[in-house]
Amino acid sequence: MTSLDFSKFKRAIDRQFDKISKHDLFRTDVNKDQLWDKYLSSFPTGTNPTYRERTEYDCSCCRQFIKAVGNTVTIIDGRVVSIWDIEIDEPAYQLVADSMSQFVKSHQISDVFLHPEKTAGTDRNFENPRKAGGITINEGKVITWEHFHVNIPWGRNQGKNYYRAKKEIPTELGLKRADHDVLMRGLTELTQDSVDTVLEIIKQGSLYRGNEYQANVKAFDKLKRAFDKLKTDQERDLFVWENFDKVSGAVSRIKNTAIGTLLIDLSSNDPKASDLETAVRKFETSIMAPSNFKRSKALVSQKQVDDAKKAVEELGLTSALERRYAKISDVRVNDIIFANREARGAMLGGAFDGVANKANTPKNLDKVETISIEKFINDIVPQISSIEVFVENRYINNLVSLVAPAYKDAKSLFKWNNDFSWSYNGDFTDSIKERVKKAGGNVTGDLACRLAWSNYDDLDFHMKEAGGYEIAYYSKHSPHGGQLDVDMNAGSGHTREPVENIFYGDRHKMKEGNYELFVHQFMKRETTDVGFEAEIDYLGDVKRYAYGKGLSQGERVVVAKFKYTHVGGIEIVESLPESNASKTVWGIKTQDFHKVNVFMLSPNYWEGEAVGNKHYLFMLEGCINDGQARGFFNEFLKPDLDKHRKVLEIVASKMKTGEAVDQLSGLGFSDTKRAEIIVRVKGSFTRTLKVLI
């Protein structure tokens, strides 16, 4: 018979348990008696180490260990790893370990691993010399018997805690299994379309108290997308066991929550139950939405969706809805104002000698001057070979991408004759000023102070004037020409794009002295998308401030204190910091010059057209929108599609570009918004200019 060193086997199992216990541990549903029988039958014939009725490995200590711990596994990179997955230089023990591993992993995971003691098994015990039938056993020596034994991680210092009091284990196992089962049903039964729809109407502000559920639905959405990529039931089950305890109960049990009722209805095969208006009305009734609740955007019905789809198909525009980032090779020579040397050869129409960028005799134009955008285009651009623009922090929202149809033969969606569009950073087409203008506020005053934020909180803008008068929601008109003309998120009407505006139409009516501009948290409703942005625009000189923290109920934050005189205008005395620190956004560093590869007007002004607002687009080398750009906006669409705007608004938010490295992105400026940009040009002269837009 072959003598084996069992201590090697037990140490290998101990090391493996220590390794896998750094991950979440589970049990498979293998029968414990069958597991013990499998262990015994896996030993090759002739491996009994001593001539005894029982072998070293066939003892009550090891039997208890195997029944208690032998079915333990973890999940690493989507694969099951067992306590038996070891390598050992004893072939017989390796054969046993491989057999046990295969047997344990052939069964499904049924529970998390919990243990009622801080160790499992008996490390070793001893057998004293004894006589049997007049014969001395053990040759008069004390024999040490080795057994399987591991320490169970417990307490905070172990990272994991698998120890529980025996009476607690059944209850906790039941709760864990329930969490697993509910998450599995949620991932299986709730459709991706239902999740997308709920996230979309929350984003629109069209679901009462929807913001309270947004984080949980987003977390579930992430799990759902990963789950749906898996191909087998086993992979899906492992995924749920691996993730059910890594998310909050509100996510794992989302199917059983209030928002889950809406997801269930939208996932239903019953057209009546899954109708969006019906499902949302049921949801809002179930959580007792107030009768005066008004959505900022109306929901769309299935009929509206069907009608919009039919209209798009009849106009032959279905393929036009799919969008991608535009590339230099998409753009024709006649569509641009300037292209650098590298961009010219790649453009449609080939290199354009004699078309643009002609270099004349160098001139000495060292004197810096401020010029209009029209003078820059007409007098400067024809003489230069390169443009660089200074990308200031304040122009992060001016980052823009040119967007093209995914299919070259697609018809135009737009009011203009080509099928190109543009999308600003964060899908904003204009600045806070434009949001104020859209809300009906005055943007032409000598002094305009604008506030913007992004949640349902009721922030109030206050201006304490020289002399003590305070402009606020309760006293909107000052005797000195000041006025609060936009006050949002008060009362029952709420939006996620609120603004407030305090302006002075005529600075000469302002009282000289010290002013204080501050924000007051009148009603805190959310803990997400907190903070605010503010602007002080005095005669076109705009100072921008951002406050990134949430305001507690009743808190006041001073935006700026300034002194005003009729002669000197505004002098900022104290304010929130204006950040000029360089940032890296879309692959470019702010507060630095960057090369322009193409300078053009927005597509609605190509080929001599003039449809809507004009935008000046400076496309920058190395500028890469690292997300997805919106393919189109409703205001771009053909008049034939006007009556389907509600549906197409949702479609547009979904039909975004894919990610791409090869793209035309840079800085864009609308001719409706006063701006200035520093440019450095080279060609027949080298100059740094301030261009007014």
Q: Are residues 402 and 459 in the same domain?
A: no
- Nearest-Å Rg of the Cα atoms of the chain is 36
pLDDT mean across residues, the chain: 84
Q: What is the mean pLDDT of residues 594-609?
A: 92
Nearest-5° Cα angle at 618, 612 to 620: 145
DSSP states of 336-363: -SEE-HHHHTTSBT---TTTS----S--
The pTM of the full predicted model, rounded to 2 decimals, is 0.46
Residue 508 has pLDDT above 70, yes or no: yes
Q: What is the mean pLDDT of residues 305-330?
A: 84
Q: Is the pLDDT higher at 366 or at 212?
A: 212
The answer to whether the CB of 328 falls within 8 A of the CB of 600 is: no
The first and second tokens of residue 38, run together, are: 């499998």
Residue 133 lies in a domain: yes
Residue 271 has pLDDT above 60, yes or no: yes
What's 627's DSSP letter? Answer: S
Residue 310 lies in a domain: no
Give the C-alpha separation, 608 to 183, whole Å: 57
The answer to whether the CB of 37 falls within 8 A of the CB of 100 is: no
Residue 583 lies in a domain: no
Q: Are residues 19 and 141 in the same domain?
A: yes
Q: Is the pLDDT higher at 101 or at 62?
A: 101
Q: Are residues 345 and 447 in the same domain?
A: no
Highest mean pLDDT among 117-126, 164-173, 358-367, 658-667: 164-173
For 91, residues 6+ apart whose C-beta sits below 8 A from its C-beta are none
Q: What is the mean pLDDT of residues 213-224?
A: 92
State which of 166, 200, 216 marks the end of a domain: 166
| Cα–chain center distance at 85 | 38
Residue 111 lies in a domain: yes
* pLDDT tier at 19, thresholds 50, 70, 90: very high
Nearest-5° Cα angle at 146, 145 to 148: 140
Give the C-alpha separation, 596 to 181, whole Å: 56
Question: What would the pLDDT profile of 376-408 be if each residue is shown by its tens digit?
Answer: 999 999 989 999 999 987 788 789 999 988 888
Output the pLDDT for position 300.
63
- Show the domain range for 548: 432-575
Closest CA to 382 of 684, 69, 167, 87: 684
Could you give the C-alpha distances from 7 to 88, 118, 196, 304, 312, in angstroms and in order? Answer: 11, 21, 57, 74, 75
Output the pLDDT for position 659.
77
**Residue ranges in 507-640 assigned as alpha helix (H):** none
Residue 315 lies in a domain: no
Residue 128 has pLDDT above 70, yes or no: no
Closest CA to 649 of 636, 633, 637, 638: 633
Q: Are residues 455 and 334 in the same domain?
A: no
Question: What would the pLDDT profile of 636-657 be if each residue is shown by its tens digit?
Answer: 888 888 878 777 877 777 777 7
Q: Are residues 452 and 542 in the same domain?
A: yes
Structural domains in the chain (count): 4
Output the pLDDT for position 159.
65
Residue 653 lies in a domain: yes
Question: What would the pLDDT profile of 179-192 be if each residue is shown by its tens digit?
Answer: 999 999 999 999 99
Q: Are residues 57 and 151 in the same domain?
A: yes
Residue 313 lies in a domain: no
CATH of the domain at 548: 2.60.60.30
Q: Are residues 23 and 143 in the same domain?
A: yes
Output the pLDDT for position 54.
44
Q: What is the mean pLDDT of residues 667-686?
A: 87
State which of 132, 166, 200 marks the end of a domain: 166
The type of residue at 151 is: N
State which of 150, 166, 182 marks the end of a domain: 166
Closest CA to 601 of 415, 391, 335: 335
Output the pLDDT for position 552.
92
Question: What would the pLDDT profile of 55-73 be if each residue is shown by its tens digit?
Answer: 445 578 888 999 999 999 9
Q: Are residues 293 and 248 in the same domain?
A: yes
Residue 586 lies in a domain: no
**Residue ranges in 5-56 assigned as alpha helix (H):** 6-20, 32-41
Q: Kindly give the pairing relationship between strand 447-452 and strand 676-683.
A: unpaired
Give the C-alpha separation, 681 to 138, whole Å: 98
Q: Are residues 366 and 274 in the same domain?
A: no
Length of the chain: 693
For 26, residues 6+ apart whose C-beta sits below 8 A from its C-beta are 72, 73, 74, 75, 109, 110, 111, 112, 113, 241
For 462, residues 6+ apart whose C-beta sits below 8 A from its C-beta are 470, 471, 472, 517, 518, 519, 520
For the ranges 58-72, 118-132, 529-543, the lowest mean pLDDT is seen at: 118-132
Q: Are residues 162 and 238 in the same domain?
A: no
Nearest-5° Cα angle at 229, 223 to 232: 110
Q: Are residues 569 and 623 in the same domain?
A: no
Residue 292 has pLDDT above 50, yes or no: no
Q: Are residues 258 and 291 in the same domain?
A: yes
Closest CA to 648 of 404, 640, 611: 640
